Amino acid sequence: MVRKFLIFILIASFSVIFINLYQNFKGQDKLNDLSTYYAENEPQELGAQNLVTSIVVTYRGFDTLGEVTILFLAASIIGFFLKIKESDKQKKRDLRKTSEILETASKILVPLIFLLGVYVFANGHLTPGGGFQGGAIMASGMVLLLLANPEKNVKHSLFSGIESISGFTYVILGLLGIYFAYGFLDNRVLPLGQFGNIFSAGLIPLIYTFIGLKVGSELTNIVGNLKETQKETE
């Protein structure tokens, strides 16, 4: 109890920093120079309708490469951290039977979810969404599949294969920017196309596709690992 009280005092005094920050905060009424530049020049420079996407994939594409790397590393770490023995993998868990509704619905929903995922990442440069969102949607489809068929194991080799190849392609696409455009991760390797068209904005849709595949397979792998490791305890 004393400990909790002290923690409360600690957090209360910590909040002083944020109260100060809040008091000195002034909401903006116009864009700052940097975002004004983006708003004015992005359509000609990169040709993506979604400004956020152009920043994420190109202007600050190097951040995104890092982001992808974090997910990749997390999945890799979990991959070897929670690895279980081959003998454990074959173990049957005594699970409650899945409801019929879930089983049936999954058969219909999973393809639709996948389709939605593909749509979200393929249109990342036009509408809200992108590789991460699309990948997450696809992974949620895989989670639904796993829930419906808890006996099934995730095919790790397949997903890590997809993951590796899309990651590698992403780096290669980035390098193409050095030779065929103006810098690493430049999207102007391909023609910018018609503004607002699905085939526009240079490499952005391509990159987002690979990111989507990569994120989807990484998240699937993580979920699969978290699920399988439970066999070890039983």
Residues 86-115 that bind other proteins (CB under 8 A): none
Residue type, 171: V
Give, to the nearest 10 degrees, the angle between helix 131-148 and helix 204-228.
Answer: 30
Residue type, 218: E
**The Cα angle at residue 213 between residues 207 and 216, in degrees rounded to 5:** 135
Contacts of 96 (CB under 8 A, 6+ apart): none
Q: Which is nearer to other proteins, 29 or 100 (CB)?
A: 29
3 state SS of 135: helix
**With CB under 8 A, what is the number of residues at the site for other proteins?**
103
Nearest to 55 by CA among 216, 210, 201: 201
Q: Which is nearer to other proteins, 68 or 106 (CB)?
A: 68
Structure tokens at 28: 């903006």
Q: Which is nearer to other proteins, 43 or 102 (CB)?
A: 43
Q: How far is the CB of 19 from other proteins (least distance, A)?
A: 8
158 touching other proteins, by CB under 8 A: no
Longest CA pairwise span in the chain (Å): 66
Nearest to 209 by CA among 154, 139, 133, 111: 133
Q: Which is nearer to other proteins, 150 or 183 (CB)?
A: 183
User: What residues between 15 and 74 interact with other proteins by CB under 8 A?
Assistant: 15-22, 24-25, 27-40, 42-43, 45, 49-52, 55-56, 58-67, 69-74
Q: How far is the CB of 164 from other proteins (least distance, A)?
A: 3
84 touching other proteins, by CB under 8 A: no
154 touching other proteins, by CB under 8 A: no
User: What residues between 167 and 226 interact with other proteins by CB under 8 A?
Assistant: 167-168, 170-172, 174-175, 177-178, 181-188, 195-196, 222, 225-226
d(CA 195, CA 216): 28
Q: How far is the CB of 187 from other proteins (least distance, A)?
A: 7
